[in-house]
Amino acid sequence: MRLGLLDVGSSAARLDLVDLNAGRPRANWSHKARTRLAEHTDPDGAVSADGIERTGLAVEECVKAAGTDLPRFVVAYGTSAVRDAANSAEIRRRISDAAGVQTGVFSPRSEAALSYHAARRWAGPSEGRLTTVDIGGGTADVATGKQEYPRKVLTVPFGAATLSREHVVSDPPREEEFRALVDAVASTVPDAFASVAGSDLGRPLALSTVFRQLAVLTESGHRKRIRRPERLHRHKVAAWIPHLAALDHEQRVALPGISRTRSYRALAGSVLAEAMLRVLDLDTVEICPWGLREGLVLRFLEAYEQESKRPRRAVRAAADHILS
């Protein structure tokens, strides 16, 4: 059985085609098209008409690229950029029209739990306690536990994109904008993660593009770019924050690991990442390449086996469990 996963986020729409019979959560084929939802979201959280149409066109591009290989079963979902938008229902209707299937969203807890599940599988069955830290566009979370799914999930209601939109208006940011950004993070993160701070976190893993790009940035040298760094060091992130605050968009794009579509949120992502690691007393965190997409595939694989490999029932069982 082949499954299509359509992920619509703040930067891009991505369609993955996965062969479930292979028993692994990796795509056999994928296509990505830019949405730039974050750039089309106003201060009140509504996505403009142009932003909605651009997102619909990006989804149509993905579907067209798959052509006749598009599987019978496609699951479409929006990340926090879609879920938390003031006009979320309108965005989801446009995505659904473009994809030809209903579009769901994850609750922050479900998203964190699925990402943790993927990290658990990636780390291997012999691991004891595992803790994941993750920064998305609209939320950031910590999940910890000893089983396949986390025992505890803690979230904050902002991510790199929302912090940037709310606090970083100028390019480069003014000093008062930078201070407001730092204060917003400092006033929320310690209390949000207090219940796990100072506890045994076991093996800590960092998920998401934010952490991976920061690892590339902080581990690369002037002459050599480290494309797949294994770890992120908190003190190196802290050292880079004032440099990122002083640079404009084009200057940040020139740095290793900072993509053009994510350059505007690089400063907010670094401030939030450093604060989370500091509160959790983590000097170093390992980079995990698996996350939400892999966790979703694993959930469908489980449902596929539980439903005796009857695809329609498996898709329905998994979707009912994780999508809303």
Whether 31 and 132 share a structural domain:
no
Based on the fold, state whether residues 156 and 97 are members of the same structural domain: no
**Residue range(s) defining the domain that contains residue 28:** 2-105+301-322
CATH number of the domain encompassing residue 58: 3.30.420.40
- pLDDT given at position 164: 93
In this structure, the answer to whether residues 202 and 98 fall within a common structural domain is no
pLDDT digits (tens, 9 = 90+) for 261-297: 889 999 999 999 999 999 999 999 999 999 998 998 8
Angle made by CA atoms 199, 204, 207, in degrees to the nearest 5: 130
Residue 241 shares a structural domain with residue 257 = yes
pLDDT for 87 beyond 80: yes
Asked, for residue 295, whether it belongs to a domain, the answer is: no
pLDDT the model gives residue 321 = 62
* The predicted structure's pLDDT at residue 262: 86
Q: Which helix (H) or strand (E) is 213 found in, with range?
A: helix 208-219
Same domain, 159 and 83: no
How much is the average pLDDT of 202-217?
95
Going by pLDDT thresholds of 50, 70 and 90, the confidence category of residue 23 is low
Q: What is the mean pLDDT of residues 65-83?
A: 92
pLDDT of residue 222: 73
197 lies in a domain? yes
What percent of the chain clears pLDDT 90, i.e. is strictly above it? 69
Residues in Cβ contact with 324 at an 8 Å cutoff, skipping those fewer than 6 apart: 104, 105, 106, 107, 110
Residue 224 lies inside a defined structural domain of this protein = yes
For residues 247 and 176, state if they share a domain: yes
The count of structural domains within the chain is 2
pLDDT score, position 324? 63
Placement of tokens 């703040």 in the chain: 10
Say if residue 198 is in the same domain as residue 171.
yes
Q: Mind listing the pLDDT tens digit for each residue in 27-57? A: 889 999 999 888 899 888 899 999 999 999 9
Report the predicted TM-score, pTM, of the whole model to 2 decimal places. 0.91
